[in-house]
């Protein structure tokens, strides 16, 4: 069993299991209200969840996902018939032609047109069907891209969270080193006062205590910067009040990774990672976009129907009055020319035909089928097809590049984890050796058998060993969790 400096073992044990539990997503739920800070600080789960709820990039990604859903909805609706209504109202003053009497009149004519027309594209070379499939693939790709962004943000938060814990532990080490120097200074002062040691030993230890104070101040500032840096990464409204939860559970680290080679991990992960799935969906989307562009070369068959009517203020109707206007001579009797024959002319007046009646009388309808054969469109179809081919090739290269990047990331993750395991093992051996060496040096120095310089060197080497061990310890934890992420055993979907 390895031994550590006084107080370090307790802190390491308390940090470990708590961090392991948090990374596995077993911590209690967290309210997203950023103004409510837990008394004990934020856990890793709370940090990740808050980031996933408030990150601006994720909010922009959510809008892009919603836009892709709208594109899919539009592609579906494009396959349905269209129906439009129209209405027009016009006033023409001056010399005009009455549309009913076909005569010139000098007046202000009001006309009103109403119409409804519908159309349906029956055949278009399957362009709409290809566009629908492309939109469906695009919607799926946007969802996977959003998931990949969530994973990247969560891993960044985890790394920053571990840095906060590491900086806090380094501060604890600096405090312990300062306390150890202060205790040693008390004992040396007693020996100097008793005449057992020279006064220069006292002065050197006082200088060492001042140096430890500087180290503690630097460690405290580093811890504060790491804490505020995590708060800024989370975009919490009050970074100064942000605190990370103090682990209070004893435990051990997770089991070591023994999954095999990077190639095996890549083969298992390539079909699970959202960025790879998104790239493949984009490639298939570009293929259907190309098919939709090629469909522009095919004839189009459509059906149409329309219904229209109109009203004009010049449309008049005659109304007969009961009294006579006059008697109009029309001839005389043949046997008595003095007898004049007259015709009674009745009185009448004109009135505007009611609007509703005109609409009924002038109602007309039509329907038909149209055929459009593309012959020459200024080369626009050919250019659009070339652009679609370029887009498909870019999508293919992007898919291949995404796979290459994933393989490089997994290979680097495996290499980094193995290096972290070896570094931790080496630092553990060094820490044990420096601990034993410092214990012996402290006893020999108190007995006057070791120069002060050698004692201080042993103390400084122990402090460096403790700091190096802590850094290797937290690095191994993070590298292990990255591998678990690629294995699919570590998910941020429900942190």
Q: Please give the Cα distance from 458 to 441 (Å, whole number).
A: 7
Whether residue 17 contacts residue 249, with contact meaning beta carbons closer than 8 Å, is answered with yes
Cβ–Cβ < 8 Å for 38, 46: yes
Is residue 62 within 8 A of residue 55, CB to CB? The reply is no
Q: What is the pLDDT averaged over residues 160-164?
A: 85
Contact 230, 160 (CB under 8 A): yes
Pairwise pLDDT comparison (339 vs 427), residue with the higher score: 427
d(CA 271, CA 27): 29
pLDDT above 50: residue 252: no
Q: Specify the higher pLDDT residue, 476 or 101.
A: 476
Number of neighbouring beta carbons within 10 Å of residue 84:
10
User: Other CB atoms closer than 10 Å to residue 431's CB: what's the count?
Assistant: 24
**What whole-number distance in Å separates Cα of residue 58 and Cα of residue 53?**
8
Q: pLDDT value at position 17? A: 36
pLDDT, residue 16, reads 40
Token pair for residue 443? Answer: 């006893």
Report pLDDT for 304.
93
pLDDT at 194: 77
Question: 117 - beta bridge partners?
Answer: 84, 306
Neighbours of 435 (CB within 10 A): 18
User: pLDDT tens digit string along 273-297?
Assistant: 899 999 999 999 999 999 999 999 9
- Hey, is 169 helix, strand or coil? helix
What is d(CA 456, CA 212) in angstroms, rounded to the nearest whole number? 11
Per-residue pLDDT for 28 more than 60?
no
- Read off the pLDDT band of 152 (50, 70, 90): confident
The pLDDT of residue 20? 39
8 Å CB contact between 213 and 178: yes
Q: How far apart are the first and last CA of the chain?
A: 34
pLDDT(1) > 70: no
Tokens of 197: 């040691």
Q: Which residues contact 354 (CB under 8 A, 6 or more apart)?
A: none
DSSP classification of residue 354: P
Band of pLDDT at residue 191, cut at 50, 70 and 90: confident
Q: What are the backbone dihedrals phi and psi of residue 285, each rounded to the nearest 5 degrees, phi first? A: -65, -45
> Is pLDDT at 224 greater than 80 in this prediction?
yes
**Average confidence (pLDDT) over 359-364:** 90
In sequence order, the 6+-apart residues with CB closer than 8 A to the CB of 165 are 15, 19, 244, 247, 474
447 CB burial (10 A radius; 0-12, 13-18, 19+) = exposed
Distance in angstroms (rounded) separating the CA atoms of residues 169 and 175: 10
- Homologous superfamily of domain range 8-79+126-300+395-487: Outer membrane efflux proteins (OEP) (1.20.1600.10)
Q: Residue 280's pLDDT is what?
A: 95
User: Is residue 67 very low, low, confident or very high in pLDDT (cuts 50, 70, 90)?
Assistant: very high
Residue 243 sits at φ, ψ, to 5 deg, of -135, 145
More confidently predicted of 196 and 129: 129
Nearest to 414 by CA among 346, 480, 343, 335: 480
Q: Three-class SS string for 425-466?
A: HHHHHHHHHHHHHHHHHHHHHHCCCCCHHHHHHHHHHHHHHH
* Cβ(261)–Cβ(198) below 8 Å: no
Percent of the chain topping pLDDT 90? 30
**Residue 32: pLDDT over 60:** no
pLDDT at residue 63, as a whole number: 93
Task: List, for residues 433-452, the tens digit of each pLDDT value.
Answer: 999 998 998 888 777 788 87
Place of tokens 């790709």: 141
Q: Which has more confidence, 230 or 348?
A: 230
Place 101 in a pLDDT band, splitting at 50, 70 and 90. Answer: low
SS3 421: helix
**0.85 exceeded by pTM:** no
| pLDDT greater than 50 at residue 37 | no
pLDDT band at residue 69 under the 50/70/90 scheme: very high
* Residue 42's pLDDT band (cuts 50, 70, 90): confident
Beta bridge partners, 42, equal 244
- By CB atoms closer than 10 A (0-12, 13-18, 19+), residue 307 is middle
Q: List all residues 6 or more positions away from 372 whose beta carbon is below 8 Å from its beta carbon.
A: 299, 300, 301, 302
Q: What percentage of the chain reaches a pLDDT higher than 70?
A: 85
318 vs 351, more confident: 351
Considering the chain, what is the average pLDDT of its residues? 81
pLDDT of 238 above 90 = no
- φ/ψ region of 399 (left if φ > 0, alpha if ψ in -120 to 50, else beta) reads alpha
- Rounded to whole angstroms, the Cα distance separating 429 from 51 reads 39
Residue 238 contacts by C-beta under 8 Å, 6 or more apart in sequence?
Answer: none
**Which residue did the predictor score with more confidence, 247 or 403?**
403
What residue segments make up the domains of the chain, in order of their start?
A: 8-79+126-300+395-487, 86-124+302-372
Q: How many helices (H) and strands (E) does the chain have?
A: 10, 8
The arithmetic mean of pLDDT across residues 206-211, rounded, is 86
pLDDT at 30 over 60: no
What are the structure tokens assigned to 158, written together? Answer: 């985890």
Choice between 429 and 107, residue whose per-residue pLDDT is larger = 429
| pLDDT reported for residue 11 | 37
Strand partners, 244: 42
Residue with the two structure tokens 């549309």: 99
Cβ–Cβ < 8 Å for 310, 90:
no
Question: What is the rounded distance in angstroms from the CA atom of residue 338 to the CA atom of residue 359?
Answer: 53
Q: Which residues pair with 86 in a beta bridge?
A: 115
Look up residue 80 and give its DSSP letter. S
Q: What is the spatial distance between Cα 71 and Cα 280, in angstroms, rounded to a whole number?
A: 19
- Is 280:399 a contact under the CB 8 Å cutoff? yes
């Amino acid at each position: 069993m390895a031994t550590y400096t006084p107080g370090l073992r307790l802190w390491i044990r308390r940090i470990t299991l708590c961090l392991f539990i948090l990374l596995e997503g077993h911590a209690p739920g967290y309210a997203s209200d950023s103004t409510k800070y837990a008394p004990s600080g934020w856990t890793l789960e709370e940090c990740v969840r808050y980031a996933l709820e408030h990150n601006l990039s994720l909010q922009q990604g959510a809008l892009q996902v919603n836009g892709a859903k709208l594109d899919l909805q539009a592609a579906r609706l494009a396959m349905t018939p269209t129906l439009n209504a129209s209405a027009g109202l016009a006033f023409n003053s001056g010399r005009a032609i009455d549309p009913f009497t076909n005569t010139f009149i000098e007046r202000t004519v009001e006309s009103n047109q109403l119409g409804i027309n519908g159309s349906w594209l029956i055949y278009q070379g399957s362009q709409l069907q290809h566009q629908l499939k492309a939109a469906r693939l695009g919607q799926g790709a946007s969802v996977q891209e959003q998931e990949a962004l969530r994973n990247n943000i969560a891993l960044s938060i985890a790394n920053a969270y571990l840095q906060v814990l590491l900086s806090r532990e380094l501060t604890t080490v600096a405090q312990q080193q300062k306390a150890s120097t202060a205790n040693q200074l008390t004992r040396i002062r007693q020996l100097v006062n008793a005449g057992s040691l020279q006064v220069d030993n006292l002065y050197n230890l006082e200088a060492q205590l001042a140096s430890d104070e500087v180290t503690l101040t630097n460690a405290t500032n580093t811890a504060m910067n790491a804490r505020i840096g995590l708060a800024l990464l989370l975009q919490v409204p009050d970074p100064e009040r942000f605190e990370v939860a103090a682990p209070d559970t004893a435990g051990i680290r997770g089991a070591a990774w023994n999954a095999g080679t990077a190639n095996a991990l890549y083969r298992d992960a390539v079909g699970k990672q959202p960025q790879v799935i998104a790239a493949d969906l984009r490639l298939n989307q570009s293929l259907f976009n190309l098919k939709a562009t090629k469909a522009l070369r095919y004839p189009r068959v459509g059906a149409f129907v329309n219904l229209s009517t109109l009203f004009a203020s010049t449309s008049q109707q005659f109304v007969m009055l009961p009294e006579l206007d006059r008697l109009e001579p029309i001839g005389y009797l043949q046997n008595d020319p003095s007898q004049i024959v007259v015709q009674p002319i009745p009185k009448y007046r004109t009135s505007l035909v009611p609007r509703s009646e005109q609409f009924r009388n002038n109602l007309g309808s039509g329907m038909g089928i149209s055929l459009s054969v593309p012959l020459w469109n200024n080369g626009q179809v050919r250019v659009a097809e070339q652009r679609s081919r370029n887009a498909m090739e870019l999508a293919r290269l992007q898919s291949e590049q995404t796979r290459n990047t994933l393989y490089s990331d997994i290979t680097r993750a495996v290499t980094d984890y193995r290096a972290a395991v070896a570094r931790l093992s080496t630092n553990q051996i060094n820490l044990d050796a420096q601990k034993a060496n410092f214990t012996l040096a402290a006893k020999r120095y108190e007995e006057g058998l070791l120069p002060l310089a050698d004692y201080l060197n042993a103390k400084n080497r122990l402090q460096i060993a403790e700091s190096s061990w802590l850094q290797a310890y937290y690095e191994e934890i993070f590298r292990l969790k990255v591998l678990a992420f690629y294995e699919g055993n570590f998910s941020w979907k429900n942190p």
